[in-house]
Structure formats: C-alpha cells, structure tokens
Structure 1
Amino acid sequence: MKNIIALSPMYTEDSNNLKKASINSPYELNRFNARWNVPEEFRDDVIAVYGEDIYAEIVSDQCGLTLMKPEDNWLSLVSEEFTKRKISYGHLKDYISQENIFIKCSDFKSFKAGVFEKVTDIKGFDSLDLKSMVFTSEVVEWELEVRCFVSESKIKTFSSYWRNDVFDMNPLSETEEKEMLSFFETFIGQYASTLPKAIVLDFGIIKGKGWALIEANPAWCSGLYACDAEKALEVIVESCIKN
C-alpha cells in the first residue's frame, strides 16, 4: 500500500513546496487530474489531501477520509483572555443592523471576510442565505500575524505573514518569538482538549492589547507562508484520518 496525498490540480507555491518536501518522505503526492476525481485504483492508498476546502471535501468522500477541523462555533467559545476582542457566532440575519464590524462566514465559501461599515455592504449580499452562520468581532488593529502548524499541542513550524498592514514573512524578532511561544503554551494548556490533534493556529499582536488568538484553521487547506514544508506536511497528514 502506498501513502498517497492527493494534491489539488491547482498549482500553487504551497502545493509545489509540499511536493518538493515529499521527495525524501514516505509520502507520494499526486495531483491525479483536473476533474477532482481520484481513480478507483488509488483511493485505498490516499491517506491525506491538501488543497482548497471544496476540493478536499470532495476527495475525502471518495477516499474515505475524515478531515479534522475545529467545531464551527469554536472561536466564539474561547475566552477574551486569549482573543482580546469580543467574538460572536450566529445567523447572518442576526447582525444586519450592526455597523463597523469584522464578519466572516463560518464555511469560508459564501463571501470574503472583512471589516464592513454595514453588513449589507458585503459583495453579493442580496444573494446570500441569511440563515448562514457567521463569526463577527469588534474591529481591532493587528500589528503582526503569525501562522503555526500544531500537532499534539506542539508548534512544529511557524511563519509570520502580516505586519503593519503589509504582507510580511520575515522572521520574528527574538523577543516576539519568545512572547508568542509563551502565549501559545498558556493558551494550549487550557484549550488543547477542544481542538483536533493536528491543526493550524494563527496568533498575532493587537495594537494596544498584545498577543491574541486570531483563529484556528484546518491544516489540510491552510497556506504555508514561510513555514517548513516538511514539518507542515506531517501536520497535514495527521489532520486527515483514514476511515
């Protein structure tokens, strides 16, 4: 039996880096074809998947995989001690009257997350299902954002990706790294039992408030930025369970 990881047919820098990282690994990364269809003869050998969330869900059904991810409302249940901002979870219709809020669809598919002066400013609002589930939060200013691939409550690799309103993958300073790891240890000590064993966690610094949890994302569809691709690959494999 081979250990195949199904890669999306969409070529990206992340998928290319994972492909290179697999050369000396026990895994075979295969894009199969552009129809998002894994041939029958390979399905038993597919142990993980990586790509866009819709692609991953389709392939997981074909290959008998359970894709690990946090509960839909998980972020709203985390204490403000760690989020440093008020976060709520509910139906889109419940927030129509609110102004100047950050809003994100919980299924990542219906609309692009962002800060909206009015909820009705969401692009394509008139076509949205008002019963769809969303996260909202008060608007804060992020000075730094960092992605962490986590397995068994340990950060395996991390990378910054945003600093002072611009894309930035430069290494953290020694002080930033020390502070982030300390914050992570305190956070994971309280919330490890609420998360899958393999997950991506984003942390950052909110202006005037300090280190905070941004969100949790499934490893099987998360971007790598400057993370170590070999280490990220292991977390991705662990985030998919063969049924």
Structure 2
Amino acid sequence: MELLAVEAAGRGIAVRAAEEPGLAGPAYWYGGPVAGARLANRLGFALLEPDDGWLAELPEEFTGRRVRAGTLADAWAIEEPTFVKPPRDKSFPAAVYTDGSRLTPALDPTTPVLLSDVVTFAAEYRLFLLDGRIATASRYAVFGRLDPAPLDPAPLDPSPLGADRADRAAVAEITEFTDRLMAAAGRTLPSAVVVDVGQLLDPYRPGHRWAVVEANMAWFSHAYAADPARVLDVVLRAAGPRAHLRQRDLAFERH
C-alpha cells in the first residue's frame, strides 16, 4: 500500500485514508471489500471483480484440477481431503480440509465457496492484467511458502532485473500460458484484474504444467515484488470513478 501511495502521489494524486473526515469524490480505491463497498457510492468509484464461479467454469486445461463452485453447506458434507476457499473474501481460512467437520459452523451455510482437488504448486506467480495483457508480475510463493521475487514479462527481457534463472525461464512460459488463457476466457474477466498462476507438479508425469491458481480483485491484491507503477495502472482501472467505467466492465462491478 505504501509503495502504491508513493507512486500515486508522484502522479499528483492525493492519497487519503478511508477513515479521514470530509472525503469527496470522484475517487479511486485500494483496500478491503467491506470499506470499499461502504464508500463506493459516496465517493463515486466502481469496484471491478471476477465472478465467484470463474475458476470453476474454466476448462481443466487451465485449472489442472477439478474445481467446483458450491456453498459452505456443500463443504460441510465433504468426506475426503479437499481444498476449500472463499471465492473473494477472507471469511474463513483457505486450506486443505480433511473433512467438513473442520470448517467453521458460524457462517451462513449459503456462503459461496470453491472446492478443488488437492494439488502441489512448485511456484506461484501474481499477474496484474490490463486489457488481457500482463502489465507486471511477481513470484510470491515457492511450495506454499512466501518467497516474493520480481518478474517482468513486458518486455520479454532475457535477464530481467532480480530474476533468477528459473524465473527467467518462467517468463516466456507464463506469457504463453496467459495468452492462451486470455484468448479462451479473457472476456469473462474484467479489463483490470489479478490472476495467480502456478507450476503444478504432476506425480504421474515428469516436469510441471501451468495452471490458474485463482483470480482476484486488483484493488485488494498484494503487489509483492511487482512494479508499483504498473500495479497502480491496473488498480486505477479496477477501482476508479464510475463515470470512467467501460461498457465491457459493467457486468463486473461489485454491488
């Protein structure tokens, strides 16, 4: 948040905290969904987000695993290890649950969830997408442990600053995978969005394959080691004045 605030200030954009008195729009937003929803109408910004069921509707070619959309009641009924997560908020921890009894009973049983096969990602990357192209990217985890590293797919520099050999090799693969994903499903996402992808290990085949981890709201996504200037470009589109909302993005506005 601090890096984006510095970048915004450098562009002449006033940066204010949500709790400050006297806020007036039109405005842009970077922060949580609860406060964002509360302030959106008063400050005149539109919050773009992917559909809750987007990941579940992708072909397995892109997910590398079975993913289905359901409710918390469906999750309570699972009888085998399943990765369960909220589609967009943090109402309960995203994790592998051995059975439904380990999920919190305190939430509404109609709460949306995503349920997927348990898989292993060797490395995971956060892509900030603008108009279907990667604006900037960062590695954020290795075997599930936080390990950010810069990754700059634009332009395709054979030795991007700060990237190790494995990440340099990943640049072209990530770009090719993302191009295929956007060609197949780009219209089902907002024009400004975050998509996380990863190297999915398959115990039955050597090497790895690329798969989508999830899609997220750009205005509520950690930048990790991505270029703050390019991240801000995506955030300004994803949570900017409603008067600037593009026709194609009307279906993705949070209400």
Q: Compute the TM-score of the two structures, normalised by the length of structure 2.
A: 0.82
Give 1:79 deviation, angstroms: 0.6
Give the drift of 1:28: 2.0
Aligned match of 2:200 in 194, 206, 228? 206
Q: Is the 8 A contact 2:25 2:42 kept in 1?
A: no
What is aligned with 2:141?
A: 162
Corresponding residue to 2:122 among 143, 148, 151:
143
Distance 2:219 2:125 in 1: 18
Q: Taking structure 1 as reference, are residues 195 and 38 closer, same or farther at Cα in structure 2, changes over 3 Å only?
A: farther
Q: 1:241 to 1:141 in 2, by over 3 A?
A: same
Query: By how many angstroms is 1:64 displaced?
Result: 2.1
How far off its partner does 1:107 sit?
4.3
Tell me the residue number matched to 1:30: 16
Paired residue for 1:102? Answer: 83
Q: CA deviation at 1:32?
A: 5.0
Whether the 8 Å contact between 1:104 and 1:136 is mirrored in structure 2 is yes
Q: 1:107 to 1:163 in 2, by over 3 A?
A: closer
Tell whether the 8 Å contact from 2:26 to 2:44 is kept in structure 1 after alignment. no
Query: 2:229, 2:170 → 1: CA distance?
Result: 24
Cα contact 1:142–1:164 (8 A) shared by 2: yes
Uncovered stretches (5+) of structure 1, i.e. residues with no partner: 1-14
Quote the residue 2:111 is aligned against. Answer: 132
Provide the secondary structure at the position in 1 that maps to 2:148.
coil
Tell me the distance in 2 between the aligned counterparts of 1:82 and 1:107: 19
Does residue 221 of the first structure (1) align with residue 220 of the second (2)? yes
5+ residue gaps, structure 2, are: 150-162, 203-207, 243-255
**Alignment identity in percent?**
28
Aligned to 2:180, the other structure's residue is in SS state helix
SS of 1:196 mapped into structure 2: coil
Correspondence for 1:5? none
Give 1:110 deviation, angstroms: 2.1
Q: Who is 1:44 aligned against? A: 25
- Quick check: 2:128–2:136 contact (8 Å CA) kept in 1? yes
Q: Does 1:16 align with 2:10?
A: no
Q: Relative to total residues, which structure has the larger strand share, 1 or 2?
A: 1
Paired residue total: 221
Over the residues paired in the alignment, what is the CA RMSD in angstroms? 1.6
> What is the match of residue 9 of structure 1?
none
Cα shift at 1:38:
5.5
Q: TM-score, normalised by structure 1?
A: 0.86
Deviations 1:58-94 (A, max 9, x none): 2213212220011121111111000000000012212
1:10 aligns with none
Partner of 2:159: none
> Cα 1:32–1:221, aligned 2, differ >3 Å: closer, same or farther?
closer
Runs of 4+ aligned structure 1 residues displaced above 6 Å come to none
Post-superposition shift, 1:241? Answer: 4.1
**Quick one: distance in 2 between partners of 1:32 and 1:73?**
30
| Paired position in structure 2 for 1:85 | 65
Secondary structure of the structure 1 residue equivalent to 2:3: helix
Which deviates further from its counterpart, 155-164 or 58-67? 58-67
For 1:102-155, what per-residue CA distance to the aligned partner results, in whole angstroms no more than 9, with x for missing partners? Answer: 001234142111111112212xx2212111111000000010100011101111
